[in-house]
Structure 1
Amino acid sequence: MSEHQQLYDFHLSAEQEQRAYELHERSIVIDLLFQGPLSPGVIPPHISDQLKQESEPLKDDPLAYSAFPAKKLRQMSVSGELEPFKEEWYRSGITAGNRELDLSTPEAMITSMGEIQEQFDRFDWLIKALSASDIRSAKAHGLKAGIVTAQDPAGIGTNLELLEALHRYGLRVLQLTYNNQNAIASGCMELANGGVSNFGMTFIRKLNELGIVVDTSHCGKQTTLDACRLSDKPVIASHTGAEAIYPHRRCKSDEELRAIAATGGVIGVFAMPWFVHGDPQATTIDHVLDHIDYIVSLVGTDHVAIGTDWPMSDVSWSLVYFKEHIAPKLGFAKGDGPSTELIHGFEQYGLFVNFTRGLVARGYSDEQVSNIIGGNWLRVFEQVWGR
């Protein structure tokens, strides 16, 4: 199926289509929870079959079995065996997307630092974004920028010197907690809703001092509100939704959305079928745009952006296994988490232009569209990292 055949039907006129494509082409486009550029739909079937055979010896170790395909795909990408890695990123029009560190344990930290750095070292078209100007430069020179981020800081513990070292490596966005309780704060799946700890206050001050963006995506309500009160710099939620549109614990209340916006921060809306609409099998990009529209109506166009978080750079059979065997151990509710459901209209990253087309269809101006698809993130980066 060609990309044109997969384009979501927004009933745009020929003039609107041209406007959307030209706007997408000239804008800096940023996805701040960029699991791509690969996705199950662009990985050749024979590669998926090959990975299933190679992973069979690991079946007695569920975590290793589940993680093997994605790890192997990363290796194949940097070795040049998977051409879709570059092709799909360029087809998407995404200027900058995050490269996610795993900071959950010291061992994972070392491994993921090596894996991410290998991408920057091997790909002459991918640069590490240490300042906002790096992203602007990437756009100007036809390159792509990787933003080093992390979601689970558990492996840092209370070691602020380690946090400083991670910043020197390139860490620029850090979530305070991932679903559950840690030394810093309470996650969104913690019933106690404990907020930011005493150490967490110190941690947030250190993030501000270093120039690392405070991310509250998987944080509980009180943690989000506390972070917005304590941070001297803009606070974000890189990937979430509006609770008023779909009442899921991964979505934010109006109070949280207003608090984030009041810091000068930005709310990134995700494209995860289980978190934006009641029927994951029938979730479309229009449902994602409903969340964007709602947040715009609440806090304005300067405070909303995109952090898709889906689809994954993985194969379908592995994602199904993850959902059934791994996700419940990570704090996901039953039925949630990565599987084969996809947003209709965003089945792969090469279709990212559908966000731009959808915003045009909903009547946003060129400036508003450009800000939502990247400009708002860039503004926060300039304020926190420096120009």
Structure 2
Amino acid sequence: MINFQKGLFDFRLTKEQEERAKNLHNASIIIDLLFQGPLSPLAISDEISEVLKEKCEPFQDDPMAYSGMPRKIIAKMSANNEIPAFEEEWYQSGITAANRQISLSDRESIISSMAEVQMQFDKLPWLTKVLTTDDIKRAKENNVKAGIVTAQETEGLGTNLELLDAMHDFGLRVLQLTYNTQNYIGAGCAERSNAGLTNFGVKFVARLNELGIVVDTGHCGKQTTLDACKYSTKPVIASHTGVENIFNHMRCKSDEEIIEIAKTGGVIGVFAMPWFVHDDPNATTINHVLDHIDYIVNLVGVDHVGIGTDWPMSDVTWSLVYFKEKIAPLLGFKKGDGPSTETVTGLEKYSYFINFTRGLVGRGYTDEDIQKIIGGNWLRVFEEVWGNGYE
């Protein structure tokens, strides 16, 4: 059982509701499909933060390397059990399965990120790689955690569809088509052209369907999302996004996109990014995140919404400030927009994840519907795309 004493958001629940939420959270398969955790700046000590800064100093002449280095070092330290909070925060969160993200931005990042992720699977006895939905179910039964290999970009693959086979063999199970900008596959959400899928992009989606890799449109432009829904023969998802009609941001989806994703049998994952769900990132609470979930439920039904938090990140404060100032503009974000140090009140740490379940209880959802939202809907999509078990 998990101790849920710290970080409880004030939903004004009754004693009976609190007990119901706790029991439901403990009993459910919970999936976060854009899991930047389990660490966060609040879970990493100041001493480790300073050590990281010293180790990263030699990379200051390379902004991208300097910005990303803390996460790489944290990943290695976590795999070596040098940051106990890595395991503690994950278990305290109650999350059963979450993504372990690799980078497909170029050949070097493909190799290094695959090695990073595999090192965690190899060294942490409580973390197992997900290849089928049975792996997630077994993880819940055995009280271990399940890592779903995902990626958010495809540039490093070029137009070589055979590389997708190798990625699938490694364990890649969810792949986002574009990240904000234009690539060989289609236009991202920051592109003015809204060009949609290219001819190659249509072939790419077909190959994902054949291999059993979930088509993710989180950062895709509107027409790319609609095209993915048109050409995919399997459910399409948006692993981490929000509702444009609640907050009009390029990272949020229109009603049309949400409806078309749902028509494929897919799921829209709602993120916990303070800058993308509410107009004041300094006053964004988990209630604002739940508002996006409510909207999607009312628009397309409870079977088509999930959680993909995307925040907070396993990083340290100084690195996040640097990312905001130096890196975010290079990735298609407007100046002053995008990831920094703000967090959603009620999700400052992943160990506070029960606030999703508590908030949904407070809003009157049934146990069955809550279980769908916090993990069951993702599991259903995985079963359709990946299959139940080994052949």
Report the more deviating stretch, 49-58 or 109-118: 49-58
Alpha-carbon distance, 1:80 to partner: 1.2
Alpha-carbon distance, 1:291 to partner: 0.3
Deviations 1:140-171 (A, max 9, x none): 11011000000001101111110011001100
> What TM-score results when the alignment is normalised by the length of structure 1?
0.99
Partner of residue 71, structure 1:
72
Inter-partner Cα distance in structure 2 for 1:78 and 1:146: 13
Inter-partner Cα distance in structure 2 for 1:5 and 1:96: 22
The aligned runs of 1:99-110 (5 Å cut-off) are 99-110=100-111
Alpha-carbon distance, 1:63 to partner: 1.6
Alpha-carbon distance, 1:53 to partner: 2.2
Partner of residue 356, structure 1:
357
Q: Is the 8 A contact 2:133 2:387 kept in 1?
A: yes
Deviations 1:221-276 (A, max 9, x none): 00000000100000000000000010001000000000000000000000000000
Inter-partner Cα distance in structure 2 for 1:51 and 1:130: 33
Alpha-carbon distance, 1:66 to partner: 1.2
Inter-partner Cα distance in structure 2 for 1:352 and 1:345: 8
Deviations 1:176-222 (A, max 9, x none): 11000001111000000000000111111100000000000000000
The aligned runs of 1:214-229 (5 Å cut-off) are 214-229=215-230
Q: For the structure 1 residues 3 and 60, does the alpha-carbon distance in structure 2 shift closer, same or farther, using more than 3 Å as the test?
A: farther
Report the more deviating stretch, 162-171 or 4-13: 4-13
Alpha-carbon distance, 1:64 to partner: 1.9
Q: For the structure 1 residues 356 and 169, does the alpha-carbon distance in structure 2 shift closer, same or farther, using more than 3 Å as the test?
A: same
Matched to 1:61, the amino acid is D
Inter-partner Cα distance in structure 1 for 2:21 and 2:165: 41
Deviations 1:116-136 (A, max 9, x none): 000100011111110011100
The aligned runs of 1:28-39 (5 Å cut-off) are 28-39=29-40
Matched to 1:38, the amino acid is L
Partner of residue 11, structure 2:
10
Partner of residue 381, structure 1:
382
Alpha-carbon distance, 1:333 to partner: 1.7
1:297 correspondence with 2:298: yes
Report % sequence identity: 66
Alpha-carbon distance, 1:102 to partner: 0.1
Alpha-carbon distance, 1:57 to partner: 2.5
Alpha-carbon distance, 1:65 to partner: 1.6
The aligned runs of 1:103-118 (5 Å cut-off) are 103-118=104-119
Matched to 2:328, the amino acid is A
Deviations 1:327-359 (A, max 9, x none): 100111222222110000000100000000000
Deviations 1:308-338 (A, max 9, x none): 0000000011000000001100111222222
Partner of residue 343, structure 2:
342
Alpha-carbon distance, 1:5 to partner: 4.3
Partner of residue 88, structure 1:
89
Matched to 2:100, the amino acid is R
Q: Is the 8 A contact 2:153 2:177 kept in 1?
A: yes
1:203 correspondence with 2:208: no
Inter-partner Cα distance in structure 1 for 2:128 and 2:54: 34
Alpha-carbon distance, 1:56 to partner: 2.0
Inter-partner Cα distance in structure 2 for 1:65 and 1:85: 22
Matched to 2:40, the amino acid is S
Matched to 2:307, the amino acid is I
The aligned runs of 1:93-242 (5 Å cut-off) are 93-242=94-243
Where 2:244 maps in the other structure, the secondary structure is coil
Partner of residue 279, structure 1:
280
Q: Is the 8 A contact 2:6 2:352 kept in 1?
A: no
1:314 correspondence with 2:339: no
Give the total of aligned pairs.
386
Inter-partner Cα distance in structure 2 for 1:115 and 1:215: 22
Matched to 2:355, the amino acid is N
Matched to 2:173, the amino acid is R
Where 2:341 maps in the other structure, the secondary structure is coil
Matched to 1:15, the amino acid is E
Inter-partner Cα distance in structure 2 for 1:62 and 1:252: 31
Q: For the structure 1 residues 75 and 317, does the alpha-carbon distance in structure 2 shift closer, same or farther, using more than 3 Å as the test?
A: same
Where 1:206 maps in the other structure, the secondary structure is helix
Alpha-carbon distance, 1:6 to partner: 2.1
1:326 correspondence with 2:332: no
Q: Is the 8 A contact 2:180 2:221 kept in 1?
A: yes
Deviations 1:59-96 (A, max 9, x none): 22212221221111111111111100111000000000
Inter-partner Cα distance in structure 1 for 2:69 and 2:105: 18
Where 1:146 maps in the other structure, the secondary structure is strand
Where 1:237 maps in the other structure, the secondary structure is strand
Inter-partner Cα distance in structure 2 for 1:112 and 1:128: 15
